[in-house]
């Protein structure tokens, strides 16, 4: 395994979490590259000390020891790796690819099969923690894959993660653990929005309600983080409504595959789908509260 100062890693997807992970790799002394279609994101990472950036990896793919994919979904993963001018054909055999999008177990296995055809190793490694923990290099990683792949990616894992769960050797196990986690995350946001909407209907100041809950037993990390956006009237997307339409869709599909009832997850999915249908899909996922009628929200949003 290469020493940290000679280890070359590329982060694909320089959104809020990808940018945090990339800058964490730079701070850890890794030779860091970035791929994104957004020129501002590429410029930001280059200014932070990246070796090189681009809209694809053609200029530097043959130098890489590892790739970290932090894109939105399985379709984007496959497009980056196997689409026209895909990255998989440019990487050296044996390069480790850490797939950290939230995807189904079947999609994870499909991507692994494609990478294997190119002599590449895959770690099924979804992440959690949001933009703040990504920026601090403290994400939680729930990963599965071969021991040798974990070893190859250890410099990256050490740079970006506060906690790494090694779930097993079978690709797909990491994806499944993340889907179960997203069940809780989505339900917590939906429940928090319902509670704050009820408070608004009852005439309770939302900043007071937020303070009470965050200092009492009903609190959760998702309530504390997302309902602060509601109190502030700030729905600029950290994680958009449409992300949870996708993630809770994966949750409900997993339940159907296993013939297992998921009543709360199904209700939360419907709430997020309604919010997207109402035009809030690109707003912060806390905007699910905007689908409740008859309330006035901070920032002058009356429904």
pLDDT band at 59 (very low <50, low <70, confident <90, very high): very high
Both tokens of 159, joined, read: 């740079």
Q: How many CB atoms lie within 10 A of CB 258?
A: 10
Give CA–CA dist 231/248, Å, rounded: 25
- Mode of pairing for the β-strands spanning 296-297 and 301-302: antiparallel
Q: Which residues pair with 32 in a beta bridge?
A: 9
Among the candidates 170, 191, 219, a domain finishes at: 170
Number of folded domains that form the chain: 2
Give CA–CA dist 150/157, Å, rounded: 8
Residue spans of beta strands (DSSP E) within the chain: 8-12, 31-35, 52-54, 66-69, 96-99, 121-124, 127-128, 139-144, 161-168, 296-297, 301-302
pLDDT tens-place string over residues 138-159: 999 999 999 999 999 999 999 9
Provide the pLDDT for residue 2.
47
Whether residues 195 and 146 fall in one domain: no
Give the domain CATH number at 140.
3.40.50.720
Among the candidates 120, 155, 170, a domain finishes at: 170
Spell out a b/e string for 269-299, using b for 16 or more CB atoms within 10 Å of the CB, else e. bebbbebbeeebbebbbbbbbbbbeebebee
Whether residues 129 and 94 fall in one domain: yes
Mean pLDDT of 271-276: 98
Percentages of the chain per state (helix, strand, coil), in multiples of 5: 55, 15, 30
Catalytic one of 23, 78, 178, 290: 178
Catalytic annotation present for 178: yes
Say yes or no to pLDDT of 232 above 70: yes
Residue spans of beta strands (DSSP E) within 130-260: 139-144, 161-168
Provide the pLDDT for residue 300.
62
Mean pLDDT of 256-271: 97
Provide the pLDDT for residue 130.
87
Provide the pLDDT for residue 165.
98
Give CA–CA dist 230/227, Å, rounded: 5
pLDDT band at 302 (very low <50, low <70, confident <90, very high): very low
Give CA–CA dist 46/33, Å, rounded: 8
169 by DSSP, 3-state: which? coil
Among the candidates 147, 170, 193, a domain finishes at: 170
- Calculate the average pLDDT of the chain: 96
Give CA–CA dist 18/94, Å, rounded: 23
Which letter does DSSP use for residue 173 in this model? H
Provide the pLDDT for residue 1.
47
Give the domain CATH number at 186.
1.10.1040.10
pLDDT band at 85 (very low <50, low <70, confident <90, very high): confident
Whether residues 156 and 184 fall in one domain: no
Taking each helix axis from N to C terminus, what angle separates 206-214 and 221-232, rounded to the nearest 10 degrees?
Answer: 160
Give CA–CA dist 284/243, Å, rounded: 9
Give CA–CA dist 104/1, Å, rounded: 30
Whether residues 154 and 218 fall in one domain: no
The pTM of the full predicted model, rounded to 2 decimals, is: 0.92
pLDDT more than 90, % of the chain:
94
Q: Which domain holds residue 272?
A: 177-302
pLDDT tens-place string over residues 5-38: 799 999 999 998 999 999 999 999 999 999 999 9
């Amino acid at each position: 395994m290469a020493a940290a100062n000679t280890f070359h890693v590329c982060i694909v997807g320089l959104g809020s979490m990808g940018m945090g992970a990339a800058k964490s790799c730079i701070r850890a002394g890794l030779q860091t590259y970035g791929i994104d279609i957004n020129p501002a994101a590429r410029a930001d990472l280059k200014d932070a000390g990246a070796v090189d950036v681009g809209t694809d990896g053609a200029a530097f793919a043959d130098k890489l020891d590892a790739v970290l994919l932090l894109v939105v979904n399985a379709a984007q993963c496959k497009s980056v790796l196997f689409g026209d001018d895909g990255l998989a054909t440019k990487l050296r055999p044996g390069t480790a690819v850490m797939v950290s999008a939230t995807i189904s177990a079947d999609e994870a296995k499909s991507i692994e099969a494609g990478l294997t055809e190119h002599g590449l190793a895959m770690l099924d490694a979804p992440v959690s923690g949001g933009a703040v923990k990504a920026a601090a290099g403290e994400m939680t990683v729930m990963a599965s894959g071969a021991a040798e792949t974990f070893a190859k990616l250890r410099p990256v894992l050490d740079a970006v993660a506060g906690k790494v769960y090694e779930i097993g050797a079978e690709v797909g196990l990491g994806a499944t653990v993340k889907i179960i986690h997203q069940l809780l995350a989505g339900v917590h946001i939906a429940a928090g929005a319902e509670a704050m909407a009820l408070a608004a209907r009852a005439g309770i100041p939302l900043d007071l309600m937020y303070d009470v809950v965050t200092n009492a037993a009903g609190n959760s990390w998702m309530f504390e983080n997302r309902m602060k956006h509601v109190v502030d009237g700030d729905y600029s997307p950290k994680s958009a409504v449409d992300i949870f339409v996708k993630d809770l869709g994966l949750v409900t599909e997993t339940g159907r595959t296993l013939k297992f009832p998921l009543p709360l997850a199904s209700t939360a999915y419907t709430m997020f789908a309604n919010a997207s249908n109402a035009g809030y899909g690109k707003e912060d996922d806390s905007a699910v509260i905007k689908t409740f009628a008859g309330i006035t929200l901070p920032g002058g949003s009356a429904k």
